[in-house]
Amino acid sequence: MPTDKFRSRRRFLAYSGSLATLSALGALGVSGCQQSGSPDAASDTATTGGEGEPAPTPSGSKVVKVYNWTEYISDSVLKAFTAETGIAVSYSTFDSNEAMYAKLKLMNNSGDYDVVFPGTDFVDKMRQGNMLEPIDHSRLSNFKHLSPTFLDADFDKGNQYSVPYLWGSSGIALNTKRIDKAAITSWNDLWRPEYEGRVMLMNDLRDVFTMALLTLGYPAATKNPEHIQAAYAKLKTLMPNVRTFNSDAPRMPFIEGETYLGLAWNGEVIIAQDQGMPELDFVYPKEGAIMWMDNMVFPKNAKNLDNAYAFVDFIMRPENSAIISEEIGYATPNEAAIALLPPEIANKPIIYPSKEQIGHALFREDVGDVTMALYQQYWDRLKVDM
């Protein structure tokens, strides 16, 4: 399994050159610096472009142009799609939602891509900006396999514009040799005075502010300046407990013994367990975990829309969703696919929490440029205040 996916996807894949092995999650191999599941190895089934560069169009009229995160799909699934349908895959990659969005804005709804994979807040942003084609669910026979947990979310009610692809979460990581796991149930526990100098926060503005907003009972996607100011004020009181901000490798302050608990991605905990720290565990806070999810969408005026529907429906076949989840290393929203995964993956609660835990999950929504600027001002002040 390309375990880099667990951390670099959430850090916009900026560190994709370094790989680890998750032997604890089953015999899912990786090789050197290039995974066999990478589309860059798919020269016989897909043409590929570099990050931010369009792939050359395959010869012939049957093509689907895909724009996805780097190293974020299974080569075997791409090959199988082309073999079955005769549709060639023209595959380009991006390394951040922002880069993807900026490029599509410059294209001005030209329709040069057919399928794109944005995060939830960017689905919201693109939907509001009239950058997406509405989805005809009657053309997606495998949509029925998706869990209701991941459908009809606020960022796209009724899934009018998006289809869930892969997901993960941010919650509380803790060293169970230092802290009793049963004692940690809430985001508020990070503020307890006995953890002075032992808390780690990720260097992620939205996740950190969402955590504080949840403790105050405010909406995670609030645009209310008073709510944001109150969250900043509460975060200031947390600073004596904060040892470090780390989004490069959030597991490392735990492995090195600097921190005992903090805000982290679930995948980082799994990597730490495999790297010799089985005592690092993960809690889904009662106020709600912070979820991220990547989605498949059709850009406005997509030129190969019939082929795009065929591609997305193929991805949603349970056997294909299972292959992608197993190779890439993130959770699938496809219930039928989970049943096909090895038990050591499907039954791991850090990856697949209970319905009760995930029922309180919150997906990011777009808050708009003006509100983001306000968040950024408070974030900069918070870092200076440390």
Model confidence over 71-101: pLDDT tens digits? 899 999 999 999 999 999 999 999 888 899 9
Q: Say if CB 260 and CB 175 are below 8 A apart.
A: yes
Name the more confident of 12 and 162: 162
Tell me the C-alpha distance between 256 and 43, whole Å: 41
Tell me the C-alpha distance between 46 and 93, whole Å: 12
Task: Name the 3-class secondary structure at 163.
Answer: strand
User: How confident is the prediction for the chain on average, in pLDDT?
Assistant: 86
Pull the structure tokens for residue 355: 């319905």
Query: Is this prediction's pTM over 0.85?
Result: no
CATH says 168-290+360-385 is which class? alpha beta
Pull the structure tokens for residue 168: 């993960």
Of the pLDDT bands very low, low, confident and very high (cuts 50, 70, 90), residue 53 is low
Window from 20-24, 118-122, 262-266, 286-290 with minimum mean pLDDT: 20-24
Tell me the C-alpha distance between 95 and 250, whole Å: 19
Helical segments of 188-224, H only: 205-215
pLDDT in tens, 132-162: 999 999 999 999 999 998 999 999 999 999 9
pLDDT in tens, 336-349: 999 999 999 999 99
Q: What pLDDT does 212 receive?
A: 98
Q: Where in the chain is the domain with CATH 3.40.190.10?
A: 4-167+294-353, 168-290+360-385
Contacts of 140 (CB under 8 A, 6+ apart): 163, 309, 312, 313, 316
For helices 305-315 and 318-328, the axis angle rounded to 10 degrees is 70
pLDDT in tens, 250-259: 999 999 999 9
Q: Candidates 3.40.190.10, 2.40.50.140, 3.10.180.10, 3.40.50.1980; correct CATH number of 4-167+294-353?
A: 3.40.190.10
